[in-house]
Amino acid sequence: MPPSHPMIEVRHLRKEYPTADETVVALEDVNLAIPRGQICCIYGESGSGKSTLLNQLAGMEKPTRGGVRIGGVVVSALDENELAAFRQRHLGFVFQSYNLLPNLNAVENVAMPLMFRGVPKDRREAAARGILKRVGLGKRLTHYPTQMSGGQQQRVGIARAFVARPEVVFADEPTGNL
């Protein structure tokens, strides 16, 4: 993709949530362009649509109207299988609630995205150990989520988001527990 094109482009995005009594409009005519390599922060009051926008950008929800393009791909038009494959190849996620699997230790949690890419176990675990050391968890490699503090769990989540070297990382309140 030529460098002049935005990495993320949003055009006339609208998201509605119908309820029994009314239709709540969470996003109304959102337009934005984020260049490759740019760090972008979304902030606002509680209930202002930040998480909804993040979910739209990441393809977690379909828009009511408008579209989202990442790296030239219209993610809002992909079906679920195409979206899963796209996320696997191009996106990383840091979740507010960590989303660590409780029965996996830190190395196994971080290595998981590489497993889905077909990376052999020894290589994915070596990559996971390396990135965990970089986030200061070299002494917690075999610890399970319940054996770590909230901040340590969040660092495991951050390491997991970056281990596959994604083109885009989406983070929902990534420093809340650090």
- 56-109: pLDDT as tens digits: 999 989 999 999 999 999 998 999 999 999 998 999 988 878 889 999 999 999
- Is the predicted pLDDT of residue 45 greater than 50, yes or no? yes
Rg over alpha carbons for the chain, rounded to the nearest Å, is: 18
Confidence of residue 1 (pLDDT cuts 50, 70, 90): very low
| First-last CA distance in the chain | 35
pTM over 0.75: yes
- Is the predicted pLDDT of residue 178 greater than 90, yes or no? no
- Give the dihedral sign, CA 135/158/114/144: positive
Q: How many CB atoms lie within 10 A of CB 59?
A: 23
Say if residue 119 is exposed, middle or buried (CB neighbours under 10 Å; 0-12, 13-18, 19+): middle
What integer is the mean pLDDT of 134-160? 96
- Give the dihedral sign, CA 20/22/26/29: positive
Residue 163 tokens read as: 């281990």
- Is the predicted pLDDT of residue 177 greater than 70, yes or no? no
